[in-house]
Structure 1
Amino acid sequence: MTLTALALFVPACFALNAAPGPNNLLAFSNASRLGFWRAVAGSIGRLPAFAAMIAIVALGLGALLAASEAAFSAVKYAGAAYLIYVGWKLWRAPAPDAAEMRVRDDSTSALARRDFLIAIGNPKAIAIFTAFFPQFVDFAAPLAPQFLTLGGLFLIMELAAAALYAGLGRVMSGVLTPLRLHRLNRGVGGFLIFSGLAMALNPKH
């Protein structure tokens, strides 16, 4: 893998990382309620999920899973159901009062677990990795070090994107009244429900 390939990989990869998907919007919502650092800590939960997917692709199983209707469907529907569940909880959450906006009982481990389950429940991420990573790999050279490099960069930029969304959420929290926060939660919840339904109803490709 050349420096030119890396120079092309970094901006293209960060564009994927920074897309406003369910995990990033969850980081935004968490930061608006709980603060920047707790949102970033919770966002670490997605990293093991994406690391596992990158390992699957590196082992050559990504194309196999993408081609397996039963395996793909099982992961897809489980992930869709969880997205809808999290979205419904956010949608139904009552408007907090001022004290609740300062102190919430969401533990960091609970935030990380939620982030992990949303990430691992999206099988299309494997298809993206399968299509995206090989474009930057030199197949004439050993593959393992290249996938480690690309995978490591992806995870670093994924956390940076989460921090970006958390920062935006924290800045917005200064102007979020309880009613506005309630509307924000409903907006994020609605997006998660929509994403889950879209994942469940769309064909495999």
Structure 2
Amino acid sequence: MTLTAFLACCAAITFAAATPGPAMFTVIANGVSHGFVRAFLAGLGIAAGDAVLVTLALLGLVALVQTFEWVFLILKYAGAAYLMFLGIRMWRSASARSDGLQATQARLSRSFFLGISIALGNPKAILFHASIMPLMLDLSTMSFVEGLLVVAVVFGVNIITMGVYA
């Protein structure tokens, strides 16, 4: 992998991570309703989920999703349904608090796994890694260490970006 290709990949990853989407809204919503720790854990889950997507893209498994469009369609609708579920749950939680009822504090791991599920079900992330990554990086000549470096950059950029949003 050339330095130019690596820097272009880093720039694209940073741009994609900073672009508003379900991940950003999840982190901000967790921060507003539950505080920094829960928001940061959701961001950590998002970073882990994106690292999984990048690993799949580097392994070429994303080609399967491109070949079988119905898999992507199912993921897309499942992600949309999950986001609607989260919105309804947050709306109910807000109305319960306004009535003076105390909402029980969920376990911290719930925020982390929420982040992972948002990242894995995010159509923007799936499309990005499926289309842009293979165009920018020559997967046929990429070494294992270079692949790990790309995954580490994705994880690090997501941690920083989601940490800022938290």
TM-score band by shorter chain is 0.7 to 0.9
Percent of aligned positions with the same letter in both sequences? 30
Alignment partner, residue 144 of structure 2: 144
Alignment partner, residue 156 of structure 1: 156
Q: Show CA shifts across 1:115-163 (max 9, x none).
A: 2222222355233112221233245633433322112101110111111
Alignment partner, residue 42 of structure 2: 42
CA positional deviation for 1:86: 0.6
Q: Is the 8 A contact 1:137 1:143 kept in 2?
A: no
What amino acid does structure 2 have at the position aligned with 1:112? F
Aligned residues: 164
CA positional deviation for 1:17: 0.3
Task: Supply the RMSD in Å over aligned alpha carbons.
Answer: 2.5
Q: Is the 8 A contact 2:27 2:40 kept in 1?
A: yes
* Matches for 1:14-53 after TM superposition, within 5 Å: 14-53=14-53
Q: Which ranges of structure 1 fall in alignment gaps of 5 or more residues?
A: 167-205
What amino acid does structure 1 have at the position aligned with 2:86? V
CA positional deviation for 1:6: 2.5
Cα distance in 2 between the residues matched to 1:136 and 1:143: 15
Alignment partner, residue 6 of structure 1: 6
Q: Is the 8 A contact 2:51 2:151 kept in 1?
A: yes
Cα distance in 2 between the residues matched to 1:100 and 1:35: 18
CA positional deviation for 1:43: 1.9
Cα distance in 2 between the residues matched to 1:109 and 1:139: 34
Cα distance in 1 between the residues matched to 2:19 and 2:148: 23
Cα distance in 2 between the residues matched to 1:154 and 1:8: 13
Describe the shift of the 1:100–1:12 C-alpha distance in structure 2 as closer, same or farther (beyond 3 A). Answer: farther
Please give the TM-score of this superposition, normalised by the length of structure 2. 0.83
CA positional deviation for 1:5: 2.4
Please give the TM-score of this superposition, normalised by the length of structure 1. 0.69
Q: Secondary structure at the match of 2:94?
A: coil
CA positional deviation for 1:27: 0.9
Cα distance in 2 between the residues matched to 1:34 and 1:70: 36
